[in-house]
Amino acid sequence: MVRWCAACGMALGLAACVSNAAKTEYEKITGNPIPRIHNDVVLWRAQGHPAKSVLIGVAKPPEAVARDLAAVIETQWGVAERNLPFTDAVASFRSKPYNIAPEASSAVFVEVHRFPGSEAMSLVVLERQDKWRGWGRGFHTGLRLPWKVWTDADVVTKRELDAVLAYFEGAGVKTAYAFPDWPKKLRDTAAISAIRQELLGPTAER
C-alpha cells in the first residue's frame, strides 16, 4: 500500500514523513496539537487523509496474539481495561493514559480478530485516541470562540505502530499492515486483501 505525505504529496512507501510541514498540516486538518507537542510522526492513509486506524495481519493465532499484545501494552503504557464492550473481537484492550500534559492525553485501543478465512492468522485493529481541551470554533465559520471545549480525534502514529511491529519482528513472526478506509475498518476488503497477499504471497487471492 502506498503511503503519502499530505504536506508534500510524495509517495513514501513504508516510510513516514517526519517534516515539520507534515505535522503542521495534520494539526491544521484536525486541530489536534498532541502529535506536535510530543514530536510524534503521524501516518497518512492517502494524500490529505491522516490515518485513523491501522489493520495489522499477524501470522499467529489470535489467542496467542492477544496474550502478546497484552504484554506489549502493559510494558509500553499499562493496561487500563480489557474486553471492551461493543466489540466482537477475540480480545480487546485500552491502555492507560499517556502523553499527559495540561488538558491533553492519549490512549491506545487494540482489538484482536480472527483473520478472515484463516485460523492460523490474526487481524489486529490498532488506534490511538487523543483528547485535548482547546478553543472552540464555530461549526460553519471556523472562527475561534471565547471558550474552551474538550475534543478527541483518532490517529495513528509511528510510535505505537512500531511498538507492535517490533515485538513480533523480534519474535520472528511475520506481519503486514494497511490503513483502512475509515470507518470501514474490518469491512475494507481491499486493505485486508493487500495484507493477505503480503503475508501469504501473490497467489493468496486465487
Closest to 191 (Cα-Cα) out of 179, 182, 174: 179
Measured between alpha carbons, how far is 108 from 37 in angstroms, rounded to an integer?
17
Output the nine-digit C-alpha cell for 193. 486483501
For residue range 173-199, what is the model confidence (pLDDT) as tens digits? 999 999 999 888 999 999 999 999 999
Q: State whether CATH 3.30.310.180 applies to domain 51-200.
A: yes
User: What are the Cα distances from residue 147, in Å, to 37, 190, 193?
Assistant: 22, 43, 46
For residue range 3-48, what is the model confidence (pLDDT) as tens digits? 445 445 444 444 455 456 676 788 888 889 999 999 999 999 887 8
> Environment class of residue 143 by beta-carbon count within 10 Å: exposed (0-12), middle (13-18) or buried (19+)?
exposed
Of all residues in the chain, what percent are helix, strand and coil, respectively (each to 5)?
Answer: 30, 35, 40
For residue range 96-151, what is the model confidence (pLDDT) as tens digits? 999 999 899 999 999 999 999 999 999 999 999 999 998 777 767 767 788 889 99
Q: What is the mean pLDDT of the chain?
A: 88
